[in-house]
Chain A
Amino acid sequence: SAVISQKPSRDICQRGTSLTIQCQVDSQVTMMFWYRQQPGQSLTLIATANQGSEATYESGFVIDKFPISRPNLTFSTLTVSNMSPEDSSIYLCSVERSTEAFFGQGTRLTVV
């Protein structure tokens, strides 16, 4: 298995501000994945973060809105920029180990 620590676990933010979410993994991984789960919806992949290269974004997600850092093989951050109420979601980071996906506990974001 993999131990993934995500911070913060929840936050309430004012619209127009930005929030950076941190994800720490207990051992080195090549790729880290960031997902969004909007209220009542399932998970959608935002981007894949590789160490040493720019993140790869899925259709509908852009770097200016969701900048990602991947400074080393155990850590990544996702920033939600210029937030609006529509960004209220649970954001989750994920890694794969022996072909199995593992998830952090998520960050519950509410934008007011």
Chain B
Amino acid sequence: QKEVEQNSGPLSVPEGAIASLNCTYSDRGSQSFFWYRQYSGKSPELIMFIYSNGDKEDGRFTAQLNKASQYVSLLIRDSQPSDSATYLCALPGEGGSQGNLIFGKGTKLSVKP
């Protein structure tokens, strides 16, 4: 049974700081990873998809994947109060299909003005 672990937080950072969100996973064979952002009462919104080892940057967001250590992280530079949300890490479940994404429990981020 694949598992995804995230620190539930809350993680509190001041505005303008770098927020670092981490996720570890149990299955060494996992190949692709997703970060979703979910505002309270809203649906998840895809932030990043990462497949290869190393870093992937998109604007203020950087996803980092280390398959040897089985962790994936999301860095948010110049954090803004509007980044305050729950961030969900996810990976494909059994069979490797994206049809059954397994989500972590999510990390709640609070960016203080």
The yes or no verdict on A and B being binding partners is no
B residues with CB within 8 A of A? none
A residues whose Cβ falls under 8 Å from a Cβ of B: none
